Structure 1
Amino acid sequence: MITVPLSALEVAMVQTGTAAADTLRDTTEVARRLDDLGYLRLWYAEHHHSPAIGAFPPVVLTAHAAALTTSVRLGSGGVLAPNHAPIMLAEQFGTLAALHPDRIDLGIGRGPGTFDDATARALRRGAGPTTDDEYRDDVSSTLRFLVDEVALGPLPEPWLLSSSPAGAALAAELGLPIAFAHHIRPDNTLASLSHYREHFSPSPWCASPRVLICVETVCAETDEEAARLGGPMDIVKVGLLKGQGGIPFPTPEEAAAHSFTADEARTLTRFRAQQAQGSPETVAKRLTDLVDLTGADELMLVTPVYALADRLRSYELVKRHVMTPTPTPTPTAR
């Protein structure tokens, strides 16, 4: 059992043979169930132009889920700053925080949210990739607008998403809690968090370092069943590592029939060793070890499995076998 809170990241996978509307119904059911189970947060990721991941704006999903739940915190994990005007992000999430006090998070990230160059340019009105300075200005401006332009009452809780030492350095400089994408760049986790804690500057948003680790977690009754459920994401993951974002999310049966090269199999084995896939006992040990290794204040689970019932079952098993009663989260300073 672990004592830190558990949360979840919803990436809204669109399964082969289903429609986007089916995925939206599934995300609604996930929000309701996680609310019932006592998970601390549920965040929505921003993606575009992918056959495997729905292009559903996090702000819309957050608003929808907030109206249907009572206690789980909701927000973005994240909205991608280069794709949005800072004042619009402040107004959108400021409004949500006023409607749902103390339940809204604004997780901000940098990536384009797509592997398609034309889509990335369309999102930025023809502009190219953002620079480090432009990204810093976007995040800083969003925070400033939250205070200066959104006089609606309670503010959303801001987080900075990171998968690299550079992102960790910015979170430390701005005094923001960090949500680290261990599920994407596990080899960067320890060095990035060390830099973040060493260089953290207290701010009105956060008085001391706060670390959330996002980890890919697939829990089933047996290790073998968890491996079967994780098979579809293995195919998508190998494609992403090759820069191929156009791979549909296959069924477990299609994944089981897929053959990986020796290099791909080794890469997947190394990746799985740093995540949490398996029976409740295996997952409990992996998550406990990750907390001990990183000193994380919170874990966020991303569970990309094909069927809604299997995804909900994974969350339920983790709740039963891993999650202690949720501690009261440390409030941010304002």
Structure 2
Amino acid sequence: MSLQNTKYSVLDLVPVLEGKTPADSFERTKELAQHAEELGYTRYWMAEHHNMPAIASSATAVAISHVAHHTSTIRVGSGGVMLPNHAPLVIAEQFGTLATLFPDRIDLGLGRAPGTDQMTAQALRRDLNSRAEDFPNQLEELQNYFEGKNVIRAVPGEGLDIPIWLLGSSGFSAQLSAQLGMPFAFASHFSPDNTHGALNLYRSRFTPSDKLSEPYAMVGVNVVAADTDEEAEKLATSQQQAFLNLVRNTKNLLQPPVDDMDEVWTPGEKAALQQQLGASIVGSKETVRKKLEKFQAETEADELMVVSQIYDQEARLHSYKIVADIMNEQ
């Protein structure tokens, strides 16, 4: 499959910028979603995170409603909802409501990680007795609400055909989505080393279902595009600082770009982050085109989900425009 035959989408973490507020972040998200819709992006997803001041998408279903309300055609969804944090009935009702309000536009991407630290996970779940092995049962319960197979009924929700995706950064969800015949989204943007193993596992073990006849893999990728390589590399330092905050367990907001990251990180931190961000694509249009072509050829992704943690909004919008131009070139 060529790059021009590959669908392209957006993953927005709704970053909160240094010197700005979450309200500003949601305004930026609205603007980016409308921009992405005009540029032909297929879907616009947001991710559930908690106790992270730099990410404003914690109430993911509410954020999805905000974006769907301010757009008209682009698919909107979760990338993802962390199912173990919630009762499946609640998710069925929330996404049933969204799909009722915005027909044929809502995606439900599901993950099994907490999306936060252990203390916050306990505040969300009230206990930490759930295990990874419980996830398939939680997923089945959720599906049964949509299919009307539970004694308790999800209204709205029951009878709605809402696409469910499994998200992963390792082999667990790859294997489960293959077994159940579901589309699979892999988080290569923060777990590049596991990309090929997980995708191979998914494709080799895929069993067709009434929802999906053949495997469909979407792959997340960090992209920072600008008019020159130098400008893009500077813009990308905001993303590097965001990952550095995770390594250091600090609560900083998304920082402006800096001229020299060597003044910010230690050599050990640099090595760790270069490995974690190893699949990132940064550069001018020509540089990004070549790297995207290589990435798509290596992963054979059916769809690319672009993540761009860029501090300046105009530069962020421009980066997504460059990517769309590349994807649409003949």
TM-score (normalizing by structure 1): 0.90
Are 2:91 and 1:68 aligned?
Answer: no
Q: RMSD across aligned C-alpha pairs, in angstroms? A: 2.0
8 Å Cα contact 1:275/1:286 also seen in 2: no
1:254 positional shift: 8.2
CA separation in 1, counterparts of 2:114 and 2:91?
16
Q: Can you list the C-alpha shifts for 1:136-160, whole angstroms capped at 9, x where unaligned?
A: 1111211121111456654221100
8 Å Cα contact 2:17/2:54 also seen in 1: yes
Are 2:109 and 1:103 aligned?
Answer: no
Gaps of 5+ in 1: 326-334
8 Å Cα contact 1:42/1:74 also seen in 2: yes
Q: Structure 1 residues 257, 263: closer, same or farther in 2, change over 3 A?
A: closer
1:3 positional shift: 1.8
Gaps of 5+ in 2: none
Q: Can you list the C-alpha shifts for 1:65-91, whole angstroms capped at 9, x where unaligned?
A: 112211110010000001111111112
Matched position secondary structure for 1:108: strand
8 Å Cα contact 2:46/2:57 also seen in 1: no
8 Å Cα contact 1:216/1:302 also seen in 2: yes
Q: Can you list the C-alpha shifts for 1:86-115, whole angstroms capped at 9, x where unaligned?
A: 111112112222222221100001111113
Letter in 2 for 1:132: A
Q: How does 1:2-21 map to 2 (within 5 A)?
A: 2-21=4-23
1:301 positional shift: 0.3
CA separation in 2, counterparts of 1:208 and 1:232?
38
Letter in 1 for 2:264: S
Counterpart of 1:329 in structure 2 is none
Paired residues, what number?
Answer: 322
1:257 positional shift: 7.7
Q: Mean Cα displacement is larger for which, 162-171 or 244-253?
A: 244-253
Q: Structure 1 residues 128, 154: closer, same or farther in 2, change over 3 A?
A: closer
8 Å Cα contact 1:175/1:207 also seen in 2: yes
8 Å Cα contact 2:8/2:327 also seen in 1: no
Counterpart of 1:140 in structure 2 is 140
Matched position secondary structure for 2:37: helix
Q: How does 1:143-158 map to 2 (within 5 A)?
A: 143-148=143-148, 149-150=153-154, 154-158=160-164
Q: Mean Cα displacement is larger for which, 222-231 or 264-273?
A: 264-273
Identity over aligned pairs, percent: 39
Q: Mean Cα displacement is larger for which, 207-216 or 269-278?
A: 269-278
Letter in 1 for 2:203: R
Matched position secondary structure for 1:95: helix
1:55 positional shift: 4.4
Matched position secondary structure for 1:309: helix
Counterpart of 2:319 in structure 1 is 314
Are 2:303 and 1:298 aligned?
Answer: yes
Matched position secondary structure for 1:52: coil
